[in-house]
Amino acid sequence: MRILLVEDTHDVGEAIAKRFEAIGHAVDWETDGRAAAEIIDFTEYSLIILDVMLPGMDGFEILKRLRKSGNAVPVLVLTARSEIEDRVGALDLGADDYLVKPFDFRELEARARVLIRRRTGGEATNLIKCGDIAIDRGARSVHVGKREVQLKRRELTLLEVMAARPGRVFSKDELLDQIFGFDEAANANAIELYVGRLRKKLEGAQARIVTVRGLGYQLVPGDAA
């Protein structure tokens, strides 16, 4: 999924970005609050990880503007402030969750998974199923029936996006936005390449990736294929 990280402490931001990119997410990392607020106005994200103390505009103000505009993207607030008033304040402004620094990256990943699950349909588990395809978002693994399928991180992310909403048609531009960040050069041909690879690796599965001419791709369960 595509994540916006707003964090001005370089070593913390770099570590978070690398962590999420390593498991297949596209991460846009901003260090300035005002710049981040502008990006949010024209870019759709699955999750925003938001520091509080930022140059340009603080995290609370970004959060306030975000919710005032009607944007319901999940927001996970990072704060060095441990006082209960600050945590309650973040939640009252519309944060979905928060973590107090310093934190364990495993906890950050787990909390992010929960928020992304809610965003993609509210599943109470890390397991996504479509036909006989099963994706474990915690273990980052895929099975077709009892057979484990080895996917590269972007292949897995592409499958995850489509499997979370089976039957929905995704345009190439939507899929590009989900699996590539601002700093990564890619075009529609890259999506065709990844779809082709996925089809080969998922050969024999009940569910299949269907091309909807002129519109994009959809993952169709076996009973609808």
Per-residue pLDDT of the chain (225 residues), as tens digits, is: 789 999 999 999 999 999 998 887 889 999 999 999 999 988 889 899 999 989 999 999 999 999 999 888 999 999 877 667 777 888 888 899 989 888 899 899 989 988 887 766 555 567 888 889 999 877 888 999 999 999 988 898 889 889 888 888 999 888 888 787 766 667 778 889 999 999 999 999 999 999 999 899 999 987 654
Which pLDDT belongs to residue 180? 77
pLDDT at residue number 224: 53
Residue 150: predicted pLDDT: 93
Q: What is the pTM of this model?
A: 0.66
Phi, psi of 100 (to 5 degrees): -95, 130
Instruction: Tell me if 34 sits within 8 A of 40, measured CB to CB.
Output: no
* pLDDT at residue number 35: 95
Tell me the C-alpha distance between 63 and 106, whole Å: 24
Where does residue 85 rank: exposed (0-12), middle (13-18), buried (19+ CB within 10 A)? exposed
Residue 139, pLDDT score? 81
**Among the listed residues 103, 41, 106, the one whose alpha carbon sits nearest the alpha carbon of residue 77:** 103
The partner residues of 135 in beta bridges, in order of sequence, read: 128, 142
What pLDDT is recorded for position 123?
A: 53
Domains of the chain, CATH where assigned: 2-120 (3.40.50.2300), 127-220 (1.10.10.10)
Place of tokens 């989900």: 178
